[in-house]
Amino acid sequence: MPGPIFMFATGIENSNPTIRGGTHRVDELETGGFYKHWRTDFDLVRDLGISFLRFGPPIHKTFLGPGRYDWEFSDLTFGRLKELDINPIVDLCHFGVPDWIGNFQNPDFPELFADYARDFARRFPWVQLYTPVNEMYVCATFSAAYGWWNEQLSSDRAFVTALKHIVKANVLAMSAILEVRPDAIFIQSESSEYFHAESPGAIKPAEILNARRFLSLDLNYGRRVESEMYEFLLDNGMTRQEYHWFLNVHLKHSCVMGNDYYITNEHRVAPDGSTRGSGEVFGYCEITRQYYDRYRLPVMHTETNLREGPAGTEAVDWLWKEWANVLRVRNSGVPIVGFTWYSLTDQIDWDSALRETNNTVNPLGLYDLDRNIRPVGTAYRQLVADWREVLPTQSVCLVVPVITPSEYEDALAHGLRRRGRQAAAGRPTGPRHEHHHAEQD
C-alpha cells in the first residue's frame, strides 16, 4: 500500500494543436503510431521497469460536445493500463481543444473543460494522478503570443486571454476531479524557463521575461504576481475581479510542481527584448531551486529529452546529466518525487514546433518508431533498476500517497479517500464554476 515512492516515468506524446488557421490538426498520437501500436507501447513501459506513464485521451476525438463523449478508445487504453497496474498521469488537455470549442480565446472553455474532467474521473475512478492542462505557459505563448498554434494570434491581449482561460480551466478541473476523487494528486507539468541578459541594456527586458515565466503557476496556485505583471495583466484584458478569483484558489495541498527542462529552456535577451537560445547555462538544478523557492511544493521532473545525434551517445549523456541534477536537487533538501524521460517513442516534427507537417522523425524517444529500443532506453532501464530501491530509503523523499490501480479497492485506500473527503469538507478548495452541472454531486 502507499509508502515512499519515487515516480520514474515516461510519456506518450499526445499533443494535438491546430495549425493553418485552424484547418489542420497535428495529432501526435497518430503520427507516432500510437493508435496502431498502443498495446505494444504499454508493454514497452513495463519492460522498462516503469509503473508511471504520462498519457491522456485525445480530447478532440473524445469530447464531442457538452456532456457528449466517445469513450471507446479511452475504455480500451485505460482498461489495459489498469490490467498492467501502470499508474497514468493523465493529460486531459495537451495543446489543443476540440473543433467545436475553437481555441483558447473561447471564454466558455474553462467551464466546459471542468465538466469533461469531472466526467472522466467518474468513468475512471481508480485514476489518481492528473495533469489537467499540460504546460499552460507554453500553450498560451505558442497559441496567442507567437502565433504558431490554435488561434494563431500574436498580441499581449490575446496571450493574457488565453492564459486566464487556460489556468482557470486547470483550476476548475482540479476542483471537479477532487469532487470525485478526493485524494487526487495534480502534477503541474510546466516549462521551467530562464532569461539571461546579454548586456546591461538587456537587464530590464530580461527581468520582465523572468517575471512573466511565472504567471501561469502564480495564478494556478493563488500567488500574488509582481506589480509589473499585475499591470500587464490588467492592461491586456484581465479584470480585477478575474485576478481576485485566482487569488482565492486553495488547491496547493493537492499539487506537485512538475517542471520540464530541455536544452532550449534558457534564453539570451537583447536590449530590444528579442531572445535567442542560450543552451544550458544554469541547468535544471538551479532553475528548479528558483521555482521551488517561489512555491514551496514537492517537485517532479516531468519532461526532458535530447536528440540521439551522430555519436549515438548524446541522449545517454543528457540523461546522465539530468539525473545528476535531480540528485543534486534532492541532496539540497528540495523534496523531488519523480523523473520523466519524455517520450516513450520518437516524435514527429517537433523540430518545427509542430508548425509544419514534414513527417520528420525526431529521435527523442526511449524507442524508435519501429519500437526498437534506443541506447537512451537501455540506459534509462538500467538507471531505474539501480536507483528505484535506493531513493525511497532517503529521508528527504516525500511520501506521496500514491495508490496503484490494483490497490484501489483495498480497505486502506478506502480510508485514505474517506479522510480526503473529510479534510476537503473543512477547507476551501478554490473557486467553483457556475455551470449547471456544478452541484450535481
Domain boundaries, the chain: 7-425
pLDDT digits (tens, 9 = 90+) for 202-225: 999 999 999 999 999 999 999 999
What are the angstrom distances between the C-alpha of 97 and each of 32, 61, 175, 209, 354?
Answer: 19, 10, 20, 27, 16
Quick one: which of 7, 16, 28 has its CA closest to 391? Answer: 7
* pLDDT-based confidence at residue 400 (cuts at 50, 70, 90): low
User: What pLDDT score was predicted for residue 223?
Assistant: 97
Q: Quick one: pLDDT at residue 435? A: 41
- Helix, strand, coil % in the chain, rounded to nearest 5: 45, 15, 40
Do β-strands 347-348 and 255-260 pair in parallel, antiparallel, or remain unpaired? unpaired
pLDDT at 2 over 50: no
The second-level CATH assignment, the architecture, of 7-425 is Alpha-Beta Barrel (3.20)
Report how far residue 108's alpha carbon sits from residue 119's, in angstroms, rounded to the nearest whole number. 17
Dump pLDDT digits (tens) for 83-112.
Answer: 999 999 999 999 999 999 999 999 999 999
DSSP 8-state class, residue 344: S
Q: Identify the sign of the CA torsion 102, 174, 191, 61.
A: negative
Q: What average pLDDT does the structure give for the chain?
A: 93
The residue to which cell 516503469 is assigned = 50
Distance of CA 419 to the CA centre of its chain: 27
pLDDT in tens, 185-202: 999 999 999 999 999 999
* pLDDT the model gives residue 369: 98
- Is 432's pLDDT higher than 80? no
d(CA 70, CA 356): 29
pTM of the model: 0.94
DSSP state for residue 95 in the 8-state scheme: S
**Which pLDDT score is estimated for 4?**
57
Residues 155-168: tens digit of each pLDDT: 999 999 999 999 99
As a whole-number percent, the residues of the chain with pLDDT over 90 amount to 86
User: b vs e for 145-155, b when ≥16 Cβ sit within 10 Å of the residue's Cβ?
Assistant: bbebbbbbbee
